[in-house]
């Protein structure tokens, strides 16, 4: 186990290194000049060159990447070109909003997805089952920006139940979480359904049924906990899907998280911020996958860590 | 009729069956798959017949298509789905937008599928250092936030329809590669492959004669499901303003261009939004049914 | 030039005068103004920095003006220069030496008195390459600038502290814009000890001499300014507190304004709500409309065929239907016919520009040898409404046979293409368009139409370089005498008329500002569309509901 963990951690670090190299190379190839963004409209060519030298952007790619890597190893993500603040500080100030959204989204997708899956499994083969499964497909097929705009229109503009966007109270959190959660809910509904059907076929459930236990008791006390575990184990992998949606959902709702930070930074080639957000996201994804892999054998003894 | 998604059969771990002639007939027996096929047929017809279905040019900005204050017109007798913020007929743009979605869906997904299969088969069959390099690279790609990577890629190249397709392909091949890798490596361990090797068959022969045919069901299933992912990613990139270049209509960029008005003119978001949803849904439904028919072991897995 | 003339010796033939008593500025305080109260202003985007040497966004530009002061400023709501931290100034007859007398008893927010040493330090700092100031280039006319910019000197040799309340600037050339330069944010005075204390984070801990001081900054959420009780300008500011709420969508801000929760939506009225607001008399009454020192234009690369032919460029000018483009942005702009915006001194009211005339445009194209038009590319920034405007331009061009394909890219990519001689045949400037740094006609020339900007990485995207006009521009800028300002403006008008004859640009529109305020806000309308304070002049506005 320890050896496995050690190997996985080293692998994860190598992956992060690769992500940093590829992103850095892509940004280096960008047909745009970050220095001109910093220097602004009135800068003379001399000012531009001075700033380029100050930032070391006149150096060859390998040197630039080496410098970045060295400061990264000492925990320094650099300073934003445009905002001039520490990237770490900027990300830390935005991270709570994104994490809050992530928690909200996970709650939404579990609540909706597990409920749907449970009902579908119990009502297997009926119209309810089919309807729910079509709904789960709609969930995974709906573009997040459309869902977000639709929810905004209905629940914020028309009904006025929730704010039109922004950040602050729990009411602000509902619509973005829901938007983010609908995608995942579709997957969870289907996983929950098959997991539950599997469990319902197990001997102990049959035994319980034979002993004449009430249907509700069987479902909630015996079947549900067993069915839910393998599904919950997927949350780690979910982080990747979440990170994919964050740019869009945050921009639709004006949510002040790292997705918006990255999007604004891309517009202005603020390379340190783009690097920082990409690395933080990749870190979260790698961590999520690692957790999912570690948790798996505890839930399903057939899986062995290799 | 049982639900097409229901994993009624326990996972057997047996070899995936080769595609059978009856696939098409089985597909037509499933209501949801038929729904998906009908949607695809409608979108395809709309895309091909667009010039005959509407009397407007998708790019013509009409003077009577806007109010004096520059607001778009609501759905009505002249413009069935209303006009957009440039005074163009929305229905026409949605019909032509279907072309963009389908072309990118097919091209990008085709390329992604090819890359994924190539990487997966190579890694799975040859193993060794090539295999591990390829699979580590795949792991690396998995760690990227997909959209962020696509945005960076789109910024590096001057965007056009084909560049957008390539960007999407470069982001989307990873899943396929992983699945194909797993299947290939289990196939490569089978006795009949060993037998082939001992009678002196070369790698190309084994790959094309024995491995690829067995992979075909998986490729078909992932190819169909992948179109859905591709359509969604194209719409998202266009929605962010970094997809297909204007004035080419795309469902995503229709929403991008008009969303400042969406509270006053929600139809500008909802009609193209519904189109994206319908097409993505259709390919998901078909893909899932195919998975059921062709490859029972894959059922119910995400 | 050793002899200084004071303001009391007015307009002597030798000495170019100017000098105002501080009393004059204090007269400007609105007698109806009420003291006290707090307002809330909203913004969508984060405020980047409040360091005057660095901040160059439209949000922080005006905030910095309330935290810091420069030697010069403008009368509130106007483009008229007035001394600020300076009490008076004198300009030598050759226009190359400027001497400022500083106001006594001006204190930084940390309690220390501001002196001439601080002024010198601030300018040395902003021009030092290590500061990475986007504004360093503004000070190019000061003697010793080149050495500092090249890293050969730490201090500008042309700036001399005569005594704690007198500072002298020597220039390498006569510069009529120098007083404006002393009024821009980059020339604002900062205290050395605080800059050194916070280092690169000074922008998060700004300490100046301004009307307000920073009380709180919660990154990404809220910035609070509170009244500086020791502000040298007695009677200002009127407000006790200004709270900036960050991360507010414009649409949310408007709703909150309608509910009375906020006072100024900093990002303005969102397009979809504009008609609704303007249709309601009660709300419309709270909207102040004003000009903006902005021009939106199409650049044509004069070094690339076929735009190297003036007839083609003129044809493009005639092809554009500006009224329709203005309609596309809810009529929130006025059609433009020359580079300068109407509220800029030097704007030529008599100039008619090119008419929208498709037939004549086609004829010109035919004369230029392109009767069937040609294919080209139009670059535009990829945020709304720019791709839409680009498509409208595309359709107008198609009407005369020019097939322009659109390249809708991130701002940085468009700027890079524009700064590359072979990069972009045409660019729609929207989102990156020139907004004047200071209200002077010269500001629309140098970097964007002069030879100095027509270099790789420059902002002269039409690569238009006319040596004659450069000479004329230098001549106009050597007219330093404020008494001859009218004459100088005429010289500039002539320069822009000549530019329009060569047509490197097709000017499209000048954006208008529409600032909406809460019912409780008071003060003259021009404070809400102040040409140098966007959105509003925080120092001079007040609220009516305080005792």
Residue C501 sits at the chain A interface (C-beta within 8 Å): no
Rounded to the nearest 10 degrees, how much is the dihedral formed by the CA atoms of A123, A127, A132, A134?
140
Question: Which two tokens mark A131?
Answer: 């309807």
Cα separations in angstroms, B36 against B43, B59, B285:
11, 30, 6
The CATH code for residues C212-286+517-543 is 3.40.190.10
**Chain A nearest C-alpha distance from C295 (Å):** 14
Q: Quickly state the pLDDT bin for A239 (edges 50, 70, 90).
A: confident
The pLDDT of residue C365 is 96
Alpha helices in chain A (DSSP H): 2-29, 34-39, 45-55, 61-73, 87-122, 127-141, 144-151, 170-200, 203-210, 215-217, 224-232, 235-253, 258-267, 271-299
For B44-84, the pLDDT digits (tens) are 999 999 999 988 999 999 988 888 888 899 998 889 999 99
Lowest mean pLDDT among A28-42, A184-198, C133-147, C467-481: A28-42
Question: Which two tokens mark B77?
Answer: 């007798």
Chains A and C: how many Cβ contacts under 8 Å? 133
Q: Of C272, C275, C406, which is closest to B246 when you measure between CB atoms?
A: C406
CB contact under 8 A, A248 and B6: no
Q: What is the pLDDT along chain C (547 residues), one digit of tens a residue?
A: 333 333 333 333 333 444 443 334 445 677 888 899 999 999 988 888 999 999 888 888 999 999 999 999 999 988 889 999 999 999 998 889 999 999 999 999 999 999 999 999 999 999 998 888 888 889 989 999 999 988 889 999 999 999 999 999 999 999 999 999 999 999 999 999 999 999 989 999 999 999 999 999 988 789 999 999 999 998 889 999 999 998 788 888 898 899 889 999 999 998 878 888 999 999 999 999 998 889 999 999 999 989 999 999 999 999 999 999 999 998 999 999 999 999 899 999 999 999 999 999 999 999 999 999 999 999 999 988 899 999 999 999 999 999 999 999 988 899 999 999 999 999 999 988 778 888 999 999 988 999 988 988 888 999 999 999 999 999 999 998 888 889 999 999 999 999 999 999 999 999 999 999 999 999 999 999 988 888 899 999 999 988 6
Element holding B302 (H helix, E strand) = none
Best C247, C381, C431, C450 member to test A by mutation, with max A CBs in 10 Å, is: C247
Q: Of B60, B69, B155, which is closest to C331 when you measure between CB atoms?
A: B69
Chain C environment of B261 (Cβ under 8 Å): 271-272
Q: Can you tell me the distance from the alpha carbon of C385 to that of C329, in angstroms, rounded to the nearest whole number? A: 8
Q: Is C89 helix (H, G, I), strand (E, B) or coil?
A: strand
CB contact under 8 A, A248 and B146: no
Q: Can you tell me the distance from the alpha carbon of A188 to that of A235, in angstroms, rounded to the nearest whole number? A: 10
Interface of B with C (CB under 8 A): 59-61, 63, 66, 68-71, 85-86, 155, 158-159, 241-242, 245-247, 253, 256-257, 259-265
Q: Can you tell me the distance from the alpha carbon of B19 to that of B27, in angstroms, rounded to the nearest whole number? A: 12
State which residue of chain A sits closest to B139, comparing Cα positions. Answer: A15
Q: Is C166 helix (H, G, I), strand (E, B) or coil?
A: strand
ipTM rounded to 2 decimals: 0.89
**pTM for this entry:** 0.88
Question: Which two tokens mark A180?
Answer: 């983010």
Element holding C530 (H helix, E strand) = none
State which residue of chain B sits closest to A259, comparing Cα positions. Answer: B148
State which residue of chain A sits closest to B149, comparing Cα positions. Answer: A23
Nearest C-alpha neighbor of C407 from the set C432, C425, C431: C425
Chain B environment of C390 (Cβ under 8 Å): 246
Q: Can you tell me the distance from the alpha carbon of B67 to that of B62, in angstroms, rounded to the nearest whole number? A: 11
> Residues in chain B with pLDDT < 50?
1-19, 298-302
Element holding C210 (H helix, E strand) = none
Radius of gyration of chain B (CA): 22
Q: Can you tell me the distance from the alpha carbon of C32 to that of A94, in angstroms, rounded to the nearest whole number? A: 43
**Cβ–Cβ contacts within 10 Å for residue C281, how many?**
7
Q: Of B246, B253, B260, which is closest to C272 when you measure between CB atoms?
A: B260
Domains of chain A: 1-74 (no CATH), 89-299 (1.10.3720.10)
Tell me which chains share at least 3 CB pairs under 8 Å with chain A: B, C
Chains B and C: how many Cβ contacts under 8 Å? 78
CB contact under 8 A, B245 and C270: no
Q: Can you tell me the distance from the alpha carbon of C245 to that of C38, in angstroms, rounded to the nearest whole number? A: 13
Question: Which two tokens mark B52?
Answer: 């005959």
Best A84, A253, A257 member to test C by mutation, with max C CBs in 10 Å, is: A84
The CATH code for residues C69-195 is 3.90.76.10
CB C293 within 8 A of CB C341: yes
Q: Of A39, A83, A166, which is closest to C48 when you measure between CB atoms?
A: A83
Q: What are phi and psi of C55, to 5 degrees?
A: -60, 125
Q: Can you tell me the distance from the alpha carbon of A176 to that of C99, in angstroms, rounded to the nearest whole number? A: 59
Q: Is C317 helix (H, G, I), strand (E, B) or coil?
A: helix
Residue A96 in this model has a pLDDT that exceeds 60: yes
**Chain A nearest C-alpha distance from C294 (Å):** 14
**Chain C nearest C-alpha distance from A183 (Å):** 25
**Chain B nearest C-alpha distance from A45 (Å):** 24
The pLDDT of residue B8 is 33
CB contact under 8 A, A165 and C149: no
Chain A environment of B138 (Cβ under 8 Å): none
Radius of gyration of chain A (CA): 24
Question: How does DSSP assign B102-154, residue by residue?
Answer: HHHHHHHHHHHHHHHHHHHHHHHHH-HHHHHHHHHHHHHHHHS-HHHHHHHHH
State which residue of chain B sits closest to A28, comparing Cα positions. Answer: B156
For B236-249, the pLDDT digits (tens) are 999 998 889 989 99
CB C52 within 8 A of CB C64: yes
For A252-282, the pLDDT digits (tens) are 888 889 998 998 898 888 999 999 999 999 9
Domain boundaries, chain C: 69-195, 212-286+517-543, 291-512
Cα separations in angstroms, B19 against B155, B189, B193, B211, B290:
41, 21, 19, 13, 10
Chain A environment of B228 (Cβ under 8 Å): 141
CB B280 within 8 A of CB B13: no
Element holding C297 (H helix, E strand) = strand C294-300
CB contact under 8 A, C328 and B70: yes
Q: Of A38, A165, A264, which is closest to C132 when you measure between CB atoms?
A: A38
**Chain C nearest C-alpha distance from A14 (Å):** 31
Chain B environment of C385 (Cβ under 8 Å): 85, 260
Task: Pick left, alpha or beta for residue C465 (phi over 0 → left; psi -120 to 50 → alpha; otherwise beta).
Answer: beta
Q: Which residues pair with C142 in a beta bridge?
A: C171
**Chain A nearest C-alpha distance from C309 (Å):** 27
CB contact under 8 A, B300 and A193: yes
Q: Can you tell me the distance from the alpha carbon of C251 to that of B260, in angstroms, rounded to the nearest whole number? A: 10
**Chain A nearest C-alpha distance from C230 (Å):** 30
CB contact under 8 A, B247 and C394: yes
Q: Which residue has the higher pLDDT, A203 or C387?
A: C387
Best A35, A41, A93, A176 member to test C by mutation, with max C CBs in 10 Å, is: A41
Cα separations in angstroms, C76 against C249, C297, C375, C538, C539:
29, 29, 49, 10, 9
Q: Of A44, A45, A164, which is closest to C249 when you measure between CB atoms?
A: A164
Q: Which CATH architecture has domain B47-58+76-295?
A: Orthogonal Bundle (1.10)
Question: Which two tokens mark A30?
Answer: 């960008």
Q: Can you tell me the distance from the alpha carbon of C310 to that of C464, in angstroms, rounded to the nearest whole number? A: 11
Q: Of B61, B86, B260, which is closest to C270 when you measure between CB atoms?
A: B260
Q: Can you tell me the distance from the alpha carbon of B240 to that of B243, in angstroms, rounded to the nearest whole number? A: 7
Best C53, C57, C59, C136 member to test A by mutation, with max A CBs in 10 Å, is: C136
Rounded mean pLDDT, A36-44: 78
Q: Which residues pair with C403 in a beta bridge?
A: C375
Residue B204: burial class (beta carbons within 10 Å; 0-12, 13-18, 19+): exposed
For B134-156, the pLDDT digits (tens) are 998 998 998 888 888 888 888 88
Q: Is A15 helix (H, G, I), strand (E, B) or coil?
A: helix
Q: Can you tell me the distance from the alpha carbon of B59 to that of B83, in angstroms, rounded to the nearest whole number? A: 12
| CATH classification (class only), C291-512 | alpha beta
CB contact under 8 A, C447 and A89: no
- Between helix A61-73 and helix A2-29 the angle, nearest 10°, is 140
> CB-based contacts of A120: which residues, under 8 Å, 6+ apart?
A128, A129, A132, A133, A189, A192, A193
Question: How does DSSP assign C101-133, residue by residue?
Answer: EEPTT-B-TTSPBP-HHHHHHHHHHHHSGGG--
Q: Is C301 helix (H, G, I), strand (E, B) or coil?
A: coil
Q: Are strands C375-381 and C426-428 parallel, antiparallel or unpaired?
A: parallel
Let me know the angle formed at the C-alpha of C434 by C429 and C438, rounded to the nearest 5 degrees.
175
Q: Of C383, C384, C410, which is closest to B155 when you measure between CB atoms?
A: C410
Average pLDDT, chain A: 87
Residue C46 sits at the chain A interface (C-beta within 8 Å): yes
Q: Can you tell me the distance from the alpha carbon of A122 to that of A109, in angstroms, rounded to the nearest whole number? A: 19
The pLDDT of residue B6 is 32
């Amino acid at each position: 186990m320890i050896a496995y963990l050690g190997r996985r951690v080293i692998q994860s670090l190598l992956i992060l290194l690769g992500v940093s190299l590829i992103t850095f190379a892509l940004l280096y190839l960008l047909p745009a000049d970050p220095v001109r963004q910093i220097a602004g409209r009135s800068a003379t060519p001399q000012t531009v060159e001075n700033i380029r030298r100050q930032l070391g952007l006149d150096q060859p790619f390998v040197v630039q990447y080496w410098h970045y890597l060295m400061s990264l190893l000492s925990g320094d993500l650099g300073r934003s070109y445009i905002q001039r603040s520490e990237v770490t500080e900027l990300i830390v100030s935005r991270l709570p909003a994104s994490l809050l959204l992530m928690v909200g989204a996970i709650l939404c997708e579990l609540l909706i997805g597990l409920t749907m899956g449970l009902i579908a499994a119990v009502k297997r083969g009926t119209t309810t089952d089919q309807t729910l499964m079509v709904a789960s497909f709609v969930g995974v097929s709906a573009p997040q920006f459309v869902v977000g705009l639709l929810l905004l229109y209905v629940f914020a503009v028309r009904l006025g139940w929730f704010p039109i966007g922004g950040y602050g109270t729990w009411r602000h959190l509902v619509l973005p979480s829901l938007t983010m959660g609908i995608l995942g809910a579709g997957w969870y509904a289907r996983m929950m359904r098959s997991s539950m059907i599997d469990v319902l076929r197990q001997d102990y459930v049959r035994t319980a049924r034979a002993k004449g236990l009430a249907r509700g008791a069987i479902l909630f006390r015996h079947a549900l906990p067993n069915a839910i575990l393998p599904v919950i184990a997927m949350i780690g992998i979910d982080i990747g899907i979440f990170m994919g949606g964050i740019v869009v959902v945050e921009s639709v709702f004006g949510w002040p998280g790292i997705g918006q930070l990255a999007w604004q930074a891309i517009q202005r080639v603020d390379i340190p911020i783009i690097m920082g957000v990409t690395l933080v996201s990749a870190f979260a994804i790698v961590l999520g996958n690692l957790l999912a892999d570690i948790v798996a054998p505890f839930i399903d003894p057939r899986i062995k860590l290799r | 009729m049982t639900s097409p998604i229901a994993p009624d059969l326990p996972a057997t771990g047996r070899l995936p069956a080769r595609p059978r002639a009856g696939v098409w007939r089985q597909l037509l027996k499933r209501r949801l798959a038929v729904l998906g096929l009908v949607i695809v047929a409608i979108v395809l017809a709309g895309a091909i017949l667009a010039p005959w279905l509407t009397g407007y040019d998708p790019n013509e900005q009409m003077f009577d298509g806007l109010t004096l204050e520059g607001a778009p017109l609501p759905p009505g007798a002249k413009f069935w789905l209303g006009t957009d913020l440039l005074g163009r007929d929305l229905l026409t743009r949605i019909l032509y937008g279907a072309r963009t979605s389908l072309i990118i869906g097919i091209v990008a997904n085709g390329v992604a599928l090819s890359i994924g299969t190539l990487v997966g088969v190579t890694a799975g069959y040859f193993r060794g250092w090539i295999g591990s390099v390829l699979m580590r690279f795949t792991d690396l790609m998995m760690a990227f936030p997909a959209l962020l990577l696509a945005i960076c890629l789109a910024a590096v190249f001057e965007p056009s329809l084909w560049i957008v397709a390539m960007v999407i392909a470069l982001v989307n091949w990873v899943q396929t590669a992983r699945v194909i890798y797993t299947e290939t490596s289990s196939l490569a361990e089978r006795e009949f492959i060993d037998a082939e090797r001992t009678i002196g068959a070369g790698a190309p022969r084994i790959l094309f004669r024995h491995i690829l045919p067995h992979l075909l069901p998986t490729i078909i299933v992932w190819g169909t499901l992948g179109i859905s992912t591709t359509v969604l990613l194209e719409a998202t990139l266009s929605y962010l303003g970094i997809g297909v270049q204007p004035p080419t209509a795309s469902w995503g960029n229709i929403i991008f261009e008009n969303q400042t008005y969406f509270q006053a003119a929600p139809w500008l978001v909802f009609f193209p939004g519904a189109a994206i949803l319908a097409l993505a849904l259709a390919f998901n439904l078909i893909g899932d049914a195919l998975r059921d028919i062709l490859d029972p072991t894959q059922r119910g897995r995400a | 030039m050793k002899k200084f003339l004071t303001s009391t010796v007015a307009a002597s033939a030798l000495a170019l005068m100017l000098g105002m008593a501080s009393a004059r500025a204090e007269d400007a305080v609105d007698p109806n103004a009420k003291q006290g109260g707090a307002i809330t202003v909203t913004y969508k985007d984060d405020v980047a920095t409040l360091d005057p040497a660095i901040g160059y966004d439209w949000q922080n530009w005006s905030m910095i003006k309330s935290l810091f002061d420069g030697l010069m400023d403008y009368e509130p709501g106007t483009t008229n220069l007035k001394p600020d931290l300076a009490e008076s100034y004198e300009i030598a007859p050759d226009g190359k030496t400027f001497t400022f007398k500083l106001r006594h008893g001006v204190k930084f927010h940390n309690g220390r008195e501001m002196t001439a040493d601080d002024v010198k330090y601030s300018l040395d700092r902003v021009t030092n390459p290590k500061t990475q100031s986007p504004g360093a280039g503004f000070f190019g006319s000061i003697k010793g600038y080149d050495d500092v910019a090249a890293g050969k000197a730490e201090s500008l040799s042309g700036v001399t502290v005569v005594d704690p309340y007198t500072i002298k600037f020597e220039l390498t050339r006569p510069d009529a814009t120098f007083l404006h330069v002393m009024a821009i944010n980059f020339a604002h005075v900062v205290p050395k000890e605080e800059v050194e204390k916070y280092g690169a984070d000074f922008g998060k801990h700004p300490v100046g001499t301004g009307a307000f001081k920073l009380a709180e900054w919660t990154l990404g959420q809220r910035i609070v300014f509170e009244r500086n009780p020791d502000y040298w300008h007695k009677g200002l500011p009127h407000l006790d507190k200004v709270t900036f709420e960050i991360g507010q969508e414009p649409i949310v801000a408007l709703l909150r304004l309608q509910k009375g929760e906020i006072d100024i939506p900093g990002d303005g009225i969102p397009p979809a709500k504009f008609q609704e607001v303007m249709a309601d008399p009660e709300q419309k009454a709270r909207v102040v409309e004003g000009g903006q020192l902005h021009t939106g234009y199409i650049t044509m690369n004069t070094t690339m065929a076929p735009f190297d032919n003036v007839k083609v460029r003129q044809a493009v000018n005639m092809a554009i239907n500006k009224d329709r483009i203005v309609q596309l942005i809810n009529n929130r702009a006025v059609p433009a016919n020359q580079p300068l915006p109407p509220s800029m001194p030097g704007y030529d009211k008599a100039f008619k520009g090119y008419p929208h005339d498709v037939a004549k445009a086609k004829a010109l194209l035919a004369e230029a040898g392109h009767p069937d038009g040609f294919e080209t590319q139009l670059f535009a920034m990829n945020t709304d409404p720019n791709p839409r405007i680009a498509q409208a331009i595309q359709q107008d061009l198609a009407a005369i046979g020019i097939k322009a394909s659109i390249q809708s890219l991130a701002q940085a990519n468009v700027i890079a293409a524009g700064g590359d001689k072979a990069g972009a045949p045409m660019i729609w400037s929207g989102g990156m368009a020139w907004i004047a740094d200071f209200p002077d006609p010269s500001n629309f020339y140098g970097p964007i139409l002069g030879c100095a900007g027509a270099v790789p990485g420059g902002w002269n995207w039409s690569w238009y370089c006319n040596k004659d006009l450069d000479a004329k521009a230098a001549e106009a800028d050597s007219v330093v005498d404020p008494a001859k300002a009218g004459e100088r403006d005429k010289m500039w008008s002539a320069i822009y008329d000549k530019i329009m004859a060569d047509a490197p640009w097709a000017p499209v529109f000048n954006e208008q500002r529409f600032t909406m305020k809460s019912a409780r806000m008071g003060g003259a309308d021009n404070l809400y569309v102040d040409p140098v304070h966007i959105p509003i002049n925080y120092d001079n506005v007040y609220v009516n509901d305080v005792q």
